[in-house]
Amino acid sequence: MKPQDSIKFGATEIGYDIVYSDKIKRARLSVSPPRKVEVTVPSDIDRISIQKIVRRKAAWVIKQMFKYDQIVGPTSIKEYVNGETFLYLGRQYRLKFNKNKTNMPVCLSGKYLEIKYSETKGVTKKQVIQWYRNQAMLKINESVNCYSKKLGIKSPQISVKNQLKRWGSCTSKNSLIFNYKIIMAPVSQLEYIVAHELCHIKEKNHTPRFWLMLKAIMPDYNKRKNELMKDGWKYSL
C-alpha cells in the first residue's frame, strides 16, 4: 500500500501514513518494521503542519528504519506449493499435499501442514487461510477468556479479520477485532495482543493507567511487545 504522503530529507524520501484522531491534542509519530511510518494527529491539523512535524523528526525516523533493516529480511510471497514453510504459533511447518485426504481439508500432522491436493493455487490458498482464521478464533478466544478473568471483566465479543495495519482493536462498544495472522506468532505475542486490547475496554487511550493495568495482568508485557515489533513482519500469508 502506497504511503499517504512523503517528505524529502537529504537524499532520503520518507513516506508516511496519517491517522486523524479527536482523542489526542499532540501529534505522535511511530516507525515499525519493515519501514512503516505513521503519524497520528488531531483531526483539525493541516497537511503542511504534518509535514513539518515529520521533518523535525526525520533524522530519528531514518535511524529507526535503518535499525529495522538490520533485523528483518524481505517479506516473502507465499507460493502455496508442496514443501513450502508456514508459521503457526511460532513454529515452522511444511506444506504437504495429500490426494487421499477425505476429512478436514487442512490440519497439522507432525511437522507438516497437511492439505488435500488442489489443482489450483487459488483454492489451496483459500483453504489454508480459512484454516488459519479458524485456528485464530479458537486460540484467541481461549486467551480472551483467561485474561478477562484476570481483569475481572466479562469476556467480550470477538471477531478475526485480515487487518492491514493492526494486530487488534477495541470498538466503542467494547467488542474486540483481531488480525487472524497473529496465530502465526508464538503464544506469548498472541497473549500480549489479547491482553492489550482487553485493557482498552477499561481504558481507551494509552494513558499511564492503561500501562499499569496491563502490567498488573502481564508483568513482562514490554518484552512481548518488543518481540512482536521485531518479528511481526514475518507473519504474512
CATH 3.40.30.10 corresponds to the domain 85-234? no
pLDDT in tens, 26-61: 899 998 866 788 999 998 899 999 999 999 999 999
The pLDDT score that the predictor gives to residue 91 is 95
- Mean of per-residue pLDDT scores for the chain: 88
Per-residue confidence (pLDDT) for residue 101, from 0 to 100: 64
For 200-223, what is each residue's pLDDT tens digit?
999 988 888 999 999 999 999 999
- Residue 68: its pLDDT value, please? 67
As given in the structure block, the three cell numbers for residue 47 are: 497537511
pLDDT at 4: 80
pLDDT, tens only, 106-147: 889 899 999 987 778 888 899 999 999 999 999 999 999 999
Convert the pLDDT of each residue in 164-179 to its tens digit.
Answer: 778 999 998 999 999 9
Whose CA is closest to 187, among 80, 89, 91, 59?
A: 89
**pLDDT at residue 177 in the model:** 95
DSSP one-letter code for 107: E
Quick: pLDDT tens for 182-203.
Answer: 999 999 999 999 999 999 999 9
The domains of the chain are located at 5-71, 85-234
87 or 234, higher pLDDT: 87
| N- to C-terminal Cα separation, the chain | 16
pLDDT for 109 equals 87
pLDDT in tens, 71-105: 545 456 788 888 999 999 999 999 998 876 667 78
Confidence of residue 11 (pLDDT cuts 50, 70, 90): confident
Q: What angle do CA 52, 54, 55 make, to 5 degrees?
A: 60
- Percentage of the chain surpassing pLDDT 70? 93
Gyration radius of the chain over CA positions:
20
Assign 70 a pLDDT band (cuts: 50, 70, 90): low
83 contacts 95 by C-beta, under 8 angstroms: yes
The side-by-side arrangement of strands in the sheet containing 85-88 is: 85-88, 91-98, 112-116, 106-109
pLDDT at 35: 77
